[in-house]
Structure 1
């Protein structure tokens, strides 16, 4: 039998499928069109002027199974490089620039962590991985983690005590990089929060040891292929929005202007597939990912997680996901909103309380990285929260 929204259920009421995401108007989604118009106008303003917040941006938002906003602005490629003398980007001639489109892929940076986390929870659901199991039980040669009793849960919640990163990009070869990871011990007390890319790198090694498959294969077979996310994959991705003219001293490696190759220096050193960074995706593909989690793990006939395990993923403090962070969620934060940001300028938020999602993708590091400014992300979240409230009359 089917519900009014088109989802199918078995005779005991269990969900067999969830309605697919479909394009529609803000009104059909239950969002105030005046607020969504303001959202689009404000995002367009972020890419204008000589020193914009980002060279280009894509904003995608929806509620329920309706994709209500999908807009692109600015440039996927605007600069040939960065001039440190003038502290300005070297502009490409207009005919050589590449306009941003809704379907432009972006280097997701740390949004990759969300996919790694889902892949881990899939193994927890199958019973092949224990959430409170010791990392050393799976990776005994990782002496630092094994010797300090770090658990899978601590990796997923950034409470392992591992430092934020290691300079793996400066190691001589893959053997030295692996040796450093294996020896790395916590610098903080396990159980206390310290955000670390190393958590997801260890989790990647654990998942690959457990399943005998690479992380890229796990994410493709377990998440993106069943959901039809055909634009989401590890690089190279030649059509992606450009990122940084990556050079020392502002960067950690000398690689020149990057487009289609992972920006994160450690992910690059590791071959482009890493638990903390390396995925490329588009706004529409990420909308499917958000909608799937809001619908309890299903999208159409595809199911990547059961509702109980989506709840586990999003229960405070969140497994991989950050919860209720006003600094990038704005007024969407407060009742269990979940999401993440990425260093290259990416972010997503899903709000189970209002069945709403917001994706803002921007190449803020083009032509070079700047001090982080998540004010525009928070402002966008506030616009969507107000779009919901205006319809509810709250």
Structure 2
């Protein structure tokens, strides 16, 4: 068990206010759980140019790549139901994927970023500029030639997660978004969470779309205005690699389920065995992956294993049993079993190229928690 040290927690809030009041970051929201205690904090504004649009507890954020392990968790639900094996080749479910050197790529390769696929398609920008549907991205990924054969390199790849989303669709006959809603979000009572903006969020007297925080996009990122993170196209697209809309409170329910061995209230969402497998480093057991290729890296099934080499998101003080994922919109999700704690930190300022907000906040959070 663990608990918060009150005067240290006040320093967390002070640092967050400093970031927002000096406009280094427009908005920061967090939800932290230590033992049986929880703390939330919200600072800044929901709209970039409207100082009166104060951040509130029900503000919805686009959390970017935190989406990836959530999608993988959906695939693991299908594994528990006997629909697939981690060692299954992807072409078993998507026959047209099995070409151009991709015959041997397995679901485990996609989940651990060892498939050899690139992060993005070569004409990623052109597709977004044309407001292409997800199906077109999937079609082009199926035609790709990997950079290396599977199991030879660790290369972060959004394309592989897109294919996992398609695997969900092929097996269930549902969209990835609908499957995640029914199998994960509804049982976890994550009522303000969706993969892609649902039509019903745009309707009614107080539509949820009005609660979505605007992301400030640094000029250095050179993002095309017609497909940036704030555009209707991107919000509605529902990218399996980065399109999740959610709140810190909702994501904290997901973290709590992981900490509880897959259990939420009276439901077993995922089995304890599945959680253990998903959150242990898979890289040492991947045949053909050399020590040099995996040195300084760690991947479970969708989850990044925290190490001293990825402190840009996770800070310097988490234990080596910690796992999580960051997002390009300036977000991080982590669980530390040794500390008996979890944190959701969401901002509206991309972590790169400016750097260190998330790690500095995490360091202060960890310093505010003590074992009991």
TM-score normalised to structure 2 length: 0.83
Q: Secondary structure at the match of 1:284?
A: helix
Whether 1:349 and 2:309 are equivalent positions in the alignment is no
Is 1:234 matched with 2:222? no
Judge conservation of contact 1:63–1:355 (CA < 8 Å) in 2: yes
Q: Which runs of 5+ in 2 are unaligned?
A: 198-208, 282-298
Could you tell me how far 1:305 is from its partner in structure 2?
Answer: 0.1
Q: Which residue of 2 aligns with 1:129?
A: 84
> CA-to-partner distance for each residue in 1:88-144, whole Å, 9 max, x for gaps?
xxxx4x4xx411112211001111112101101111122211101111111111144
- Please state whether the residue corresponding to 1:30 is helix, strand or coil: strand
Residue 186 of structure 1 corresponds to 146
1:107-256, aligned counterparts within 5 Å? Answer: 107-144=62-99, 147-166=102-121, 167-171=123-127, 173-174=132-133, 176-191=136-151, 192-236=153-197, 237-244=209-216, 250-255=222-227
Q: Does 1:376 align with 2:357?
A: yes
1:359-394 CA deviation, whole Å, 9 max, x = no partner? 1110004xxx95151x221122222322234x55xx
Is structure 2 residue 37 aligned with structure 1 residue 66?
Answer: yes
Q: RMSD across aligned C-alpha pairs, in angstroms?
A: 2.5
Stretches of structure 1 that go unaligned for 5 or more consecutive residues are 1-27, 80-91
- 1:53 aligned partner: 24
Q: Would you say the 8 A contact 1:148–1:185 is kept in 2? A: no
Contact 2:192–2:246 (Cα < 8 Å) also in 1: yes
Q: After TM superposition, give the deviation of residue 307 of structure 1 in Å.
A: 0.5
Q: What is the distance in 2 between the residues matched to 1:334 and 1:308?
A: 21
1:258 aligned partner: 230
* Distance in 2 separating the partners of 1:256 and 1:280: 15
Aligned mates of 1:247, 1:180 — CA distance in 2: 29
For the 8 Å contact 1:61–1:356, the answer to whether it is kept is: yes
Structure 1 residue ranges (4+ consecutive) displaced by more than 6 angstroms after TM superposition = 245-249
The aligned length equals: 335
The secondary structure found in structure 2 opposite 1:328 is helix
1:320 to 286, 291, 302: 302
Paired residues for 1:253-292 under 5 Å? 253-255=225-227, 258=230, 261=232, 263=234, 272-292=237-257
Is the alpha carbon distance of 1:179 and 1:121 closer, same or farther for their aligned partners in structure 2, counting shifts above 3 Å? Answer: closer
Deviation at 1:146, TM superposition (A): 6.7
Q: Is the 8 A contact 1:76 1:241 kept in 2?
A: yes
> Rg bigger for which structure?
1
Question: For 1:212 and 1:145, how far apart are their aligned partners in 2?
Answer: 26
Q: How does the TM-score come out when normalised to structure 1?
A: 0.78
Assess, with a 3 A threshold, how the Cα gap between structure 1 residues 332 and 118 changes in structure 2: closer, same or farther. Answer: farther
Query: Which of structures 1 and 2 has the larger relative contact order (alpha carbons within 8 angstroms, sep 6+)?
Result: 2
Cα pair 2:33 2:341 within 8 Å, conserved: yes
